[in-house]
Amino acid sequence: MNCLVSGANFLLKAIRHEAFTHMEGHKEFVQIDQNDLFPYLLVNIGSGVSMIKVDGDGQFQRVSGTNVGGGTYWGLGRLLTKCKSFDELLELSQRGDNSTIDMLVGDIYGGMDYSKIGLSASTIASSFGKTISENKDLEDYKPEDISLSLLRMISYNIGQIAYLNALRFGLKRIFFGGFFIRGHAYTMDTISFAVQFWSKGDAQAMFLRHEGFLGALGAFMSYEKHGLDDLMVHHLVERFPMGAPYIGGNVHGPPLGDLNEKISWMEKFVRKGTEITAPVPMAPPATTGLGGFEVPSSKGVLRSDASKLNVGVLHLVPSLEVFPLLADPKTYEPNTIDLSDHGELEYWFTVLSEHLSDLVDKAVASEGGTDDAKRRGDAFARAFSAHLARLMEEPAAYGKLGLANLLELREECLREFHFFDAYRTIKQRENEASLAVLPDLLMELDSLTEDMRLLTLIEGVLAANIFDWGSRACVDLYHKGTIIEIYRMSRKKMQRPWRVDDFDAFKGRMLGSGDRKPQPHKRALLFVDNSGADIVLGMLPLARELLRRGTEVVLVANSLPALNDVTAMELPDIVAEAAKHCDILRGAAEAGGLLVDAMSNIQDGYKENTPSVPLMVVENGCGSPCIDLRQVSSELAAAAKDADLVILEGMGRSLHTNYNAKFKCDALKLAMVKNQRLAAKLVKGNIYDCVCRYEPAS
């Protein structure tokens, strides 16, 4: 029982989309506030049913139960239907019609509701009651009807007793777990109906995605040899895949006993690809009753997740924290696009599928085009396609689904098959080409008035954001000219007003008006996007302008590669190259520790005049084109505490996610829209429209 409660507490804290409601086939995830988790009623449905009042970690009491549970359903079901397994019995119930066996209210009252006491005609008056008055033997009833009648009888009974116990102890939350539920939609609907009916809508039944694993998880968490009893679970997260530099079934990082107090867990839905030695055929669907991927029967066979349980692998990762500048973390939703709309879901699945072959080509080329790389590329395509097919069938299979999750899943699948940076050579080439023209751009900027320079800088960021290998429209552009030619063409088209144009408000905050000069920002966090022109000709010149005004600048970049996005590991080299052509960048990079040793061509006199305002780089804790600000690196969280300006750049970080995010400080969101559907839905515009959205501190 202790393990059961420990497992439930852990999951409700560790997995963001662990709890959900299920009514009439509709699943809706519930965000649980860790500070308001206790007390709750845990209803564990196994062979029998235990009802446990949980008051805190290690504080619980079994307050009730019933001997009518999963064992009753299976036992009676075996006798009455001859089914050989629990799953077979559940599957049978999906084709059943309980009205042939159960006596309904309508059977008693001439097919009508008994509205005076709130009973509909379809309400069960007596389970199996209709069989009393019919001259039939067991063989005359369909096994599927018997199975469904049994399921409803037992589920209703459990739901009613659970609610009465919650009422008895004044508990707001009722969580149902145990392996009886099995992710079975009708079982959850029946329990939910019972709780809603008896509570007159005041209470809701909630279910757990990992309901069959509470005891096992609790046992693991309490196992002293792992040192887990000494760890504090801090800002626990559940994500679609992300994070570790190597993907597999093991815990990554230092031994568990050596970890700091702040730890994070994440659930991944991929399997390691180290044993893939041949093209990978998908196994035919099979119900295992265990969920997740089956163990391969031989090397090179990747099994699809055929069960409805969708169990991932929990990984221990470096601490991820809530971004401290979010105005209200409780209401923050990173995803802008609502994928609960089936048409929207189908569209983005099609986009990802159409981009897949090009991505595989890039990935294979990044590994030298070897036969091994081709095999792994084929395996990646099959695995990612299988995930898309699974999510198309059941969008909530891996938790609440957003576009950011899909893009992250793709990157994690690439890493699963050891493609750690598919765009490495492309990024290097574009960085070199952009750095070659940076000196001329800086000279042009320095020749402008203050007003014109700021406008030109913002135009430059928007124009350079055109370089995005994640956009089909932009990939087509690459065949029409060099990176510099495309950048210049894009700059020429930067005509105001832009589709979303708050530049004047931003300019007012930066430059003031008349004799009133505002104080410069203390520290700016610049969330950068792509390599090449985007970072070199767009964001670095903007960072330079902020530094010139006395603002500390922190460049925030991905921890891991994703498409052609620049990473925190790559940025110091780019800054060092840019600093060779700019005293401002050079001095700030030195002050920020990006240039450890003074460059040989710097004179002592210059060093004395070097500004103390630093330019720094931090990783964001992410390996995706988007970012969920509920889970960022500890380094970024620490850097944000003194920041009073956030600049989010690029479609992934400022449109696909965070377009509606509110911050405690000033925020500027900059992007070129490179998808026609997104342009139409989000800003009611067209492809290549620009967004310059400025929002003062909330």
Residue pLDDT, tens place only, 632-669: 999 999 999 999 999 999 999 999 999 999 999 999 99
Evaluate whether 290 touches 85 at the Cβ level (below 8 Å).
no
Instruction: Report the length, in residues, of the chain.
Output: 698
- Torsion angle, alpha carbons of 648, 653, 654, 656, to 10: 180
Mean pLDDT within 119-135 = 89
Q: Which range, 240-244, 267-271, 645-649, is most confident?
A: 645-649
Query: What is the C-alpha separation between 34 and 360, in angstroms, rounded?
Result: 41
Q: How deeply is 139 buried, as exposed, middle or buried, from its count of CB atoms within 10 A (0-12, 13-18, 19+)?
A: exposed
pLDDT of the residue at 35 = 83
Number of other CB atoms surrounding residue 470 within 10 Å: 25
Average pLDDT, the chain: 83
Is the pLDDT score of 602 beyond 90?
Answer: no
Q: Which two tokens stand for residue 520?
A: 């410069």
The residue among 354 and 253 whose pLDDT is bigger is 354
Please state, for a pLDDT cut of 70, what percent of the chain lies above it: 82
The residue among 17 and 150 whose pLDDT is bigger is 150
Q: HSE (CB half, 13 Å, CA atoms) of 210?
A: 28
Secondary structure (3-state) at 461: helix
Lowest mean pLDDT among 140-154, 401-415, 647-661: 401-415
CA torsion through residues 268, 269, 275, 278, sign: negative
The residue among 465 and 276 whose pLDDT is bigger is 465
- Torsion angle, alpha carbons of 373, 376, 380, 386, to 10: 150
Q: What is the 3-state secondary structure (H, E, C) of 226-239?
A: HCHHHCEECCCCCC
pLDDT of the residue at 316 = 65
- State the DSSP H helix or E strand holding residue 29, giving kind and residue range, or none if neither: strand 26-29
pLDDT of the residue at 71 = 95
- State the DSSP H helix or E strand holding residue 458, giving kind and residue range, or none if neither: helix 450-464
Number of other CB atoms surrounding residue 350 within 10 Å: 11
Please state, for a pLDDT cut of 90, what percent of the chain lies above it: 60
Query: What is the C-alpha separation between 682 and 338, in angstroms, rounded?
Result: 11
pLDDT of the residue at 649 = 97
Instruction: Indicate left, alpha or beta for 291 from its phi (over 0: left) and psi (-120 to 50: alpha).
Output: left
Query: What is the C-alpha separation between 599 and 592, in angstroms, rounded?
Result: 15
Query: What is the C-alpha separation between 527 and 669, in angstroms, rounded?
Result: 10
Mean pLDDT within 412-417 = 91
Q: Which two tokens stand for residue 175?
A: 């969580």
Is the pLDDT score of 534 beyond 50?
Answer: yes
pLDDT in tens, 296-326: 232 222 233 334 335 666 666 667 889 999 9
Q: Is the bond leading into 572 cis (omega within 30 degrees of zero)?
A: no
Lowest mean pLDDT among 455-469, 546-560, 613-627: 455-469
Residue 98's pLDDT band, with cuts at 50, 70 and 90, is very high
- Residue 693, amino acid: R
- Torsion angle, alpha carbons of 413, 421, 354, 399, to 10: 30
Query: What is the C-alpha separation between 544 and 553, in angstroms, rounded?
Result: 9
Give 622's contacts (C-beta < 8 A, 6+ positions apart). Answer: 242, 558, 559, 560, 562, 628, 632
Query: What is the C-alpha separation between 631 and 621, in angstroms, rounded?
Result: 8
Number of other CB atoms surrounding residue 528 within 10 Å: 30
Lowest mean pLDDT among 228-232, 410-414, 599-603, 645-649: 599-603
Mean pLDDT within 213-227 = 74
pTM confidence score: 0.80
Q: How far is CA 230 from the centre of its chain?
A: 28
Q: Which two tokens stand for residue 131?
A: 């069989």
Residue 112's pLDDT band, with cuts at 50, 70 and 90, is confident
Evaluate whether 211 touches 181 at the Cβ level (below 8 Å).
yes
Query: What is the C-alpha separation between 566 and 560, in angstroms, rounded?
Result: 9
Is the pLDDT score of 232 beyond 60?
Answer: no
Is the pLDDT score of 50 beyond 50?
Answer: yes
pLDDT of the residue at 213 = 85
pLDDT of the residue at 633 = 93
Q: Which two tokens stand for residue 376?
A: 């792994």
Residue 191 phi/psi, 5-degree rounding, is: -65, -45
- Residue 336, amino acid: T
Is the pLDDT score of 255 beyond 60?
Answer: no
Query: What is the C-alpha separation between 633 and 598, in angstroms, rounded?
Result: 29
Question: What single DSSP character describes residue 498?
Answer: P
Q: Which two tokens stand for residue 116?
A: 């005076």
pLDDT of the residue at 67 = 96
Nearest CA-CA partner of 661 in 676, 646, 671, 683: 646
Question: What single DSSP character describes residue 624?
Answer: S
Give 502's contacts (C-beta < 8 A, 6+ positions apart). Answer: 692, 693, 694, 695
Question: What single DSSP character describes residue 558?
Answer: B
Residue 224's pLDDT band, with cuts at 50, 70 and 90, is low
Supply the Cα-derived Rg of the chain in whole angstroms. Answer: 29
Mean pLDDT within 362-384 = 94
Residue 501 phi/psi, 5-degree rounding, is: -130, 95
Residue 283's pLDDT band, with cuts at 50, 70 and 90, is very low
Evaluate whether 474 touches 674 at the Cβ level (below 8 Å).
yes
The residue among 316 and 9 whose pLDDT is bigger is 9
Residue 264's pLDDT band, with cuts at 50, 70 and 90, is low
pLDDT in tens, 451-500: 999 999 999 999 998 865 555 555 555 555 566 677 777 777 788 999 99
Evaluate whether 479 touches 672 at the Cβ level (below 8 Å).
no
Residue 134's pLDDT band, with cuts at 50, 70 and 90, is confident
Query: What is the C-alpha separation between 695 and 698, in angstroms, rounded?
Result: 8
